[in-house]
């Protein structure tokens, strides 16, 4: 039993580790943007003692002890890293989590295969995280666990430590009962989550899906549904919900359910926009696209992201509205997958083929209709693109939240700009002044992009200002405070 009153369990480390010229270890921010990590680090400002538990790749493959070190910034806390072998990481994260769970979470059951899983290794890794959390936690401590790859950790902690408070947050969608039931391990997963004191989700739909799964599959008793918070859309779109189940009772315990979407960091984005580097990049982008409407889309290569559907809609725009030839450009930042999974390789090949076809059909010597970037775009460069884009086109087939949409709103606050947003993204139930579209419908996609390109400036400003108020109020700091505030109030 440890001495820490707050233990955070997340597979990612709070910092990236590098070695300087003298071989000394340095902690730096991760290259890939993740607004959650700095916020989670800042939670240790409020705690006099705390531990962050993540993994560490064990390059030797030999048995090794957990690494414990002190991180001094933003305030001192312990980082405990669990040495996982390359095979463990591949099995636990890239295979079972990404190939087996991912299609179910995003409601693509046709892509699920029992062969794409190694349940024994998944249990083994979860057991390691639970062991470390129990060893770090003081009596009555708070343990906050993040995301579906640690689904089994709550039950493994509860077995050893009935005294602690356990919270869990899902950063992905949670599927409906009929889709979730495909998982052979559905009872183990639900029973583990029902060991928590608080289970958090981005939006009420995911919270209700979890509650219905628990009620229908495990026979728990659900609390009477209450109206959703005013910040959520209640009717009229794919993920809208008028009410939400606030708690579940199971085996003499009450499990509270909290719907609060992760926000972004408006202050950080504004600081970047004011920096000389971003100002220079913004100026270059503005010069390159002078006199043309710039459409921006940012995602990664994944069957959930709808990149092919968006590109085909753009192709139809150029087919049906030749007046836009030479007047509009699309910049697609679509980060290539590095896992070696065939399905992602096929999707990337398809995206590249569609881009090549569009540019071959419609391009001119002075105009390239689509610019495709598959590299990981640095965050400051992405902010520069946000600041100059007339339209941000975010149309995944399914997405837990989507922070890109919120980041664009911050970058365009007080200006013109149009956000075209899939109604199957979690953030669509927050940003009611986005142009919502159904990425499965050609008519809906075509209407949304033509409406965006022709929208009067006055309406653009009105919509953008309304969305900016939402993003400014419900920041990533607000999300963390709401989740932990609910847990502490129990």
Measured from the Cβ of residue 73, the count of other Cβ atoms closer than 10 Å reads 11
Residue 367 is classified by DSSP as B
- Report, as ranges of residue numbers, the positions in the chain whose pLDDT lies below 70: 30-35, 45-49, 74, 338-340
Could you tell me the sign of the dihedral formed by the alpha carbons of 155, 157, 161, 166, in that order? negative
Q: Are strands 67-71 and 4-9 parallel, antiparallel or unpaired?
A: unpaired
Give the model's pLDDT for residue 32: 61
Distance between CA atoms of residues 91 and 120, nearest Å: 10
**Of 315, 308, 400, which is closest to residue 350 (Cα–Cα)?**
308
Q: Which residue's entry shows tokens 């339209």?
A: 391
For 403-465, the DSSP string reads HHHHHHHHHTTTS--EEEEETTBGGGGT-TTSEEE-TT-HHHHHHHHHHHHH--HHHHHHHHH
Which residue has tokens 């950063």?
Answer: 171
Q: Kindly tell me the number of DSSP H helices and DSSP E strands found in the chain.
A: 17, 20
pLDDT reported for residue 338: 65
Distance CA 483, CA 468 (A): 22
Nearest Cα residue to 320 out of 456, 445, 438, 420:
445
pLDDT confidence of residue 48: 61
| The predicted structure's pLDDT at residue 31 | 65
Residues in Cβ contact with 46 at an 8 Å cutoff, skipping those fewer than 6 apart: none
């Amino acid at each position: 039993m440890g001495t820490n009153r707050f233990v955070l369990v997340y597979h990612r480390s709070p910092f990236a580790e590098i070695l300087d010229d003298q071989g000394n270890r340095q902690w730096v921010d991760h290259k890939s943007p993740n607004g959650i990590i700095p916020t989670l680090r800042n939670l240790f400002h409020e705690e006099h003692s705390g531990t962050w538990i993540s993994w560490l790749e064990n390059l030797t493959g030999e048995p090794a002890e957990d690494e414990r070190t002190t991180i001094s910034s933003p305030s001192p806390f312990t980082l405990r890293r669990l040495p996982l072998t390359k095979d463990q990481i591949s099995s636990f994260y890239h295979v079972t989590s990404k190939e087996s769970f991912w299609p179910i979470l995003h409601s693509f059951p046709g892509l699920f295969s029992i062969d794409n899983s190694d349940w024994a290794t998944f249990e083994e890794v979860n057991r390691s995280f639970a062991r470390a959390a129990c060893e770090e936690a003081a009596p009555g401590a708070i343990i906050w666990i993040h995301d579906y790859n640690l689904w089994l950790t709550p039950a493994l902690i509860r077995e050893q430590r009935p005294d602690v408070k356990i919270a869990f947050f899902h950063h992905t969608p949670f599927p409906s009962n009929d889709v979730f039931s495909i998982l052979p391990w559905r009872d183990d997963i639900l029973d583990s989550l029902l060991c928590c004191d608080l289970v958090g989700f981005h939006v009420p739909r995911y919270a209700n899906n979890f509650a219905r799964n628990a009620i229908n599959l495990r026979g728990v008793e659900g609390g009477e549904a209450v109206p959703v918070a005013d910040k959520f859309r209640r009717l009229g779109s794919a993920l809208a919900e008028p009410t939400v189940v606030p708690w579940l009772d199971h085996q003499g315990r009450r499990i509270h359910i909290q719907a609060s979407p992760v926000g972004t960091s408006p202050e950080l984005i504004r600081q970047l926009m004011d920096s000389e580097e971003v100002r220079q990049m913004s100026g270059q982008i503005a010069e390159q696209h002078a006199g043309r409407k710039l459409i921006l889309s940012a995602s990664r290569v994944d069957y959930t992201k709808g990149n092919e559907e968006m590109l085909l809609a753009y192709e139809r725009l150029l087919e049906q509205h030749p007046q836009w030839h030479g007047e509009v450009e699309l910049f697609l930042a679509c980060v290539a997958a590095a896992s070696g999974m065939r399905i992602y390789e096929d999707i990337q090949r398809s995206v590249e083929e569609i881009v090549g076809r569009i540019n071959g059909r419609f391009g001119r010597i002075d105009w390239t209709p689509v610019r495709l970037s598959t590299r990981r775009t640095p965050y400051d460069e992405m902010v520069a693109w946000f600041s100059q884009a007339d339209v941000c086109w975010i149309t995944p087939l399914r997405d837990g939240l989507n922070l890109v949409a919120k980041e664009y709103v911050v970058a365009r606050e007080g200006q013109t700009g149009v956000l075209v947003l899939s109604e199957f993204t979690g953030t669509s139930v927050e940003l009611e002044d986005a142009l919502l579209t159904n990425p499965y419908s050609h008519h809906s996609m075509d209407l949304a992009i033509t409406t965006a390109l022709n929208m009067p400036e006055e309406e653009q400003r009105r919509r953008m200002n309304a969305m900016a108020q939402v993003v400014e109020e419900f920041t990533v700091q607000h999300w963390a405070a709401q989740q932990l505030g609910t847990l502490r109030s129990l």
